[in-house]
Amino acid sequence: MRTSLFRSAVILLATGLSTTAVRAVQNRTTIPASTLGLIPLPRNVTAYAARWKLPATIRVSANNTAEHNVGLFLQRFLKPRGITVTFAATGRGSIRLSTTANNSQLGREGYRLNISSHGAALSANTGRGLFYALQTFEQLFNPAKPSDNAIHEVSISDWPRYHWRGILLDCSRHFFPVPVVEKFIRVAAHYKLNVFHWHLTDDQGWRIQIPQYPLLTKIGAWRAGTEMHLNPHDIDHNRYGGFYTDAQIRKIVAYAQRRYVTVVPEIDIPGHCTAALAAYPWLAAAKGPFHVRETWGISNVPLSPSARTFHFLDIVFGDLVDLFPSRYIHLGGDEVSAQAMKAWEHDPAAEKIMRQRHWSAAQLHDYFPSRMARFLSARGRRAVVWNDVPAAGLPKGTVIECWNSSSIVNQDARLGHDVIVADESRLYFNFCEGDPKYVPHATGAVDTLRETYKFNPSSLLPASLRHRLLGAEGCLWAEAIATAHHLFYQLLPREMALAEISWTPLKEQHYSNFVKRTARQYLWLRANGYNFRIPLPSFHFAGTDATSTATRDPRHNALLIQSTLPTGLVRITDAVPGTVIYYTLNGSMPNAHCIRYAGPIAVKFAPGKPMVVRCVAIDSSGQSSAPAKLIIQLKSHP
C-alpha cells in the first residue's frame, strides 16, 4: 500500500527540487488507505494527502457500449453534485474510461483507478471491471456533502477474492415490489456483489407468472393470512400476496445487468411447493386440496414424480430459461422432511419408480433436481441446488450451495461439484444481529456483524479442493420481514461484511479497520434512503493480573469476565467513527444523558456481586446501537 512519508522525504533530499516541485512532491504524501472509507477494501491502494477538485464541467472519454454504460452511471452520479459531464470519444477527457486495459492480472472483474491532480483514469479488461472501478471512484466522494468535489488522489489496482459474491432475497414469504428489489440490487452492486439469488417460490407464495399455468399466480400468489411474530397460532387473516409479471422480471433483469449483477432465479422443488400445489393439486404426492400456507413451518407434501409433473416443470423451467439470461438456475431442493418423503411411499407415480429402480424414498429427493439439472444443461445452463440434495446422484456440473453443514462442503467438492458457501450461522441476515430483545422481530438465531466478518469460507475446504469454491452468498429469508425498512435494517451493515470477505484478500481483512470504514458508508446509505443498524461497540477488560478469562455471549450482546483481582480497566472499541459512546456502571440502560466515554474506565468490584457495565453508540442523527453489556465477576484464586 504504501509509499511512506519517509520515502517522499528521501526523494526530496535526493533530487534537490525547486519550491514548486517540492510542494508537488510533498503533496504525494501518502495517507492510510483506511481513511478513504472504501468497502470492500481494494487489494492494492496507495492514497495521497493531495486532492483533485473536479471542475463544474468535465469531459469523459468513452468509446464503446460498456464504457458508455459506465459513463452514464458516472454522469448520473455527478449531476446532483453540480457537475456536468460531456462525452468525448478521443481518450482525452479528464476522466478516461477504458475497457482495454489488456492486463491479465486484473482478470474479468478487476480494475485500475488512478486519480491525479489532472484527472482520473478508470481502466479494466471488461465493462464489469470498469463498473467496479466506478463504484470505488464514487466512494471517494463525501456522500454527506454534495458540494465537496475534492477527492483524494489514489492509485488502486484491485480484483476479487471470489467469483461468486451473492445475496439472496426471499420474495415468497413476503412480497417486495419492483422498486424495493431494484434498491436491493443497487446496494449489492455498490458493494461489488455480483449475484442476486431470487427466491421466487415457496409454500407461502408463488411469485412468477407462467402463462401456461395461470393459476400459479391467480391462486398460488395469494394466502388468506400471515403468521405473525413467528407464532403459528397468531394469524392475521388478511389476504396477502403479489407476483411479478414477465415485463417486471425483464425490467429487473435489465436493471441488474446494467450493474453487472446476475439474477439467479430459484424455483424450489420438490419440497417447499405448497403454493403450486394449491393451484394445481395434481402436482402433489398426496391428496389435496391444498392452501397457500399462512404459517412458516415446512410443508409435508412434496411433488409427485409423475409424467404430468415433469411436463409442468419443463414448461416452468423453460420459461425461466427464456426470462433469465443467467448461466445458473437454482432448483432449491432443501428441507424435504422425513414425513414428506413418506408421502412418496403412498404416491403411485413415486411408488412405481422406487419399485422399478429399487430406490428408497430418499433417493427420489435427488431424482427431481437431477432430471431438471439435465434439462437445464441441454439448454446451456447450470443447475444450483441446496446441500440437502444428496450430491452423489447429481450430474457433475451441478453446483451445491451449502447452508447448514460445513462438512458437506468438503464432501460435495470431493465428489467433483463446485460449491457456494451460504453458512447459516454466519451469512443468514434474517437472523438477529445480537440480543433479540433489542432488534425488530427476526429469526431467533444470532449472526453478528463480527461473526460474519470473521468468517473465512475458504477454511471449509482443504487447499487441494479450494478451486471448487465459487464463493459466498448471504441470505435474507423473509418470514419475519414484511417491509423494506426492516429488510434493509437486517441487511446492513452485514452485507458490507459479506462484500469484504468475498472481495478483499484474507490478509487485508481486519474487523476494527472495517468498522472504521463503515462510517463513510452509513453516510451513503442515509443519503440514498437505506435503513441500517449501527453495530455495537466492543468491550475489553484488562485485569491487573493475567488470570482473567473472557467469554463472548452474542445472544446477549455480552462479554463475561472472570477476574481474580477486584480491579481493572474497561476499554470500549469498535465504535463507528462519528458516533458517541455513553455508558452506565450500575447495569442500567444507557442513553445520551449518561456518562460519555472518553477513555479507559477504572473499575472496582466486590466478591459475590457481579459488576455490569453497559454502553450504546449514538450517531449525530440520534440513531442508537443496541446496548452492549460487560459482566465482571470476581472469581476465587485457583
Check: CB of residue 121 under 8 Å from CB of residue 113: yes
Instruction: Report d(CA 13, CA 85) in Å as an integer.
Output: 41
As given in the structure block, the three cell numbers for residue 304 are 409427485
Q: How many residues bind ligand ACM (CB under 6 A)?
A: 4
Q: Which is nearer to ligand ACM, 176 or 386 (CB)?
A: 386
Check: CB of residue 482 under 8 Å from CB of residue 174: yes
Q: Which is nearer to ligand ACM, 403 or 514 (CB)?
A: 403
Identify the three-state secondary structure at position 35: helix
Is 170 an interacting residue with respect to ligand ACM (CB under 6 A)? no
Q: Which is nearer to ligand ACM, 141 or 328 (CB)?
A: 328
Q: Which of 138, 246, 335, 351 binds ligand ACM (CB under 6 A)?
A: 335
**At its nearest, how many Å lie between ligand ACM and the CB of residue 443?**
10
**At its nearest, how many Å lie between ligand ACM and the CB of residue 452?**
16
35-74 footprint of ligand ACM as x/- string (CB under 6 A): ----------------------------------------
The sign of the torsion formed by the CA atoms of 464, 469, 471, 472 equals negative
Q: Which is nearer to ligand ACM, 275 or 631 (CB)?
A: 275
- Return the axis-axis angle of helices 246-258 and 178-190, rounded to nearest 10°: 20
Q: How far apart are the first and last CA of the chain?
A: 48
Q: Which of 386, 489, 530, 583 binds ligand ACM (CB under 6 A)?
A: 386
Please tell me what DSSP assigns to residue 381.
-
Q: Which of 255, 317, 375, 403 binds ligand ACM (CB under 6 A)?
A: 403
Q: Whose CB is nearest to ligand ACM?
A: 334
As given in the structure block, the three cell numbers for residue 136 are 470505488
**At its nearest, how many Å lie between ligand ACM and the CB of residue 168?**
9
**At its nearest, how many Å lie between ligand ACM and the CB of residue 403?**
4
Q: Which is nearer to ligand ACM, 386 or 597 (CB)?
A: 386
Q: Which is nearer to ligand ACM, 33 or 336 (CB)?
A: 336
**At its nearest, how many Å lie between ligand ACM and the CB of residue 295?**
16
Q: What is the 3-state secondary structure (H, E, C) of 97-124?
A: EECCCCCHHHCCCCEEEEECCCCEEEEE
Q: How many residues does the chain have?
A: 638
For residue 409, give the nearest of 383, 382, 381, 386 by alpha carbon.
386
* CA count, 13 A, side-chain hemisphere, 119: 14
405-444 footprint of ligand ACM as x/- string (CB under 6 A): ----------------------------------------
CA 545 → CA 286, 570, 601, distances in Å? 67, 14, 17
As given in the structure block, the three cell numbers for residue 532 are 441500517
Q: Are strands 419-421 and 469-476 parallel, antiparallel or unpaired?
A: parallel
**At its nearest, how many Å lie between ligand ACM and the CB of residue 531?**
24
Q: How would DSSP label each residue in 293-345?
A: -SS-SPPS--B---HHHHHHHHHHHHHHHHH---SEEE-------HHHHHHHH
**At its nearest, how many Å lie between ligand ACM and the CB of residue 330?**
10
Q: Which is nearer to ligand ACM, 478 or 525 (CB)?
A: 478
**At its nearest, how many Å lie between ligand ACM and the CB of residue 328?**
16
Q: Which is nearer to ligand ACM, 60 or 331 (CB)?
A: 331
Q: Which is nearer to ligand ACM, 471 or 543 (CB)?
A: 471
**At its nearest, how many Å lie between ligand ACM and the CB of residue 401?**
8
For residue 527, give the nearest of 58, 80, 208 by alpha carbon.
80
Q: Which residue has the cell 414448461?
A: 315
Instruction: Report d(CA 452, CA 77) in Å as an integer.
Output: 30
**At its nearest, how many Å lie between ligand ACM and the CB of residue 138?**
33
| Phi, psi dihedral angles at 13 (to 5 degrees) | -65, -40
Identify the three-state secondary structure at position 31: strand
Q: Which of 266, 334, 366, 418 binds ligand ACM (CB under 6 A)?
A: 334
Q: Which is nearer to ligand ACM, 27 or 295 (CB)?
A: 295
Task: List, in order, residues 6 or more apart from 465 with CB less than 8 Å away.
Answer: 410, 413, 414
**At its nearest, how many Å lie between ligand ACM and the CB of residue 334?**
4
Q: Which is nearer to ligand ACM, 138 or 424 (CB)?
A: 424
Listed in order, strand segments (DSSP E) in 530-598 are 538-543, 549-553, 558-563, 567-573, 580-584, 595-596
Q: Which is nearer to ligand ACM, 334 or 418 (CB)?
A: 334
**At its nearest, how many Å lie between ligand ACM and the CB of residue 487?**
17
Q: Which residues bind ligand ACM (CB under 6 A)?
A: 334-335, 386, 403
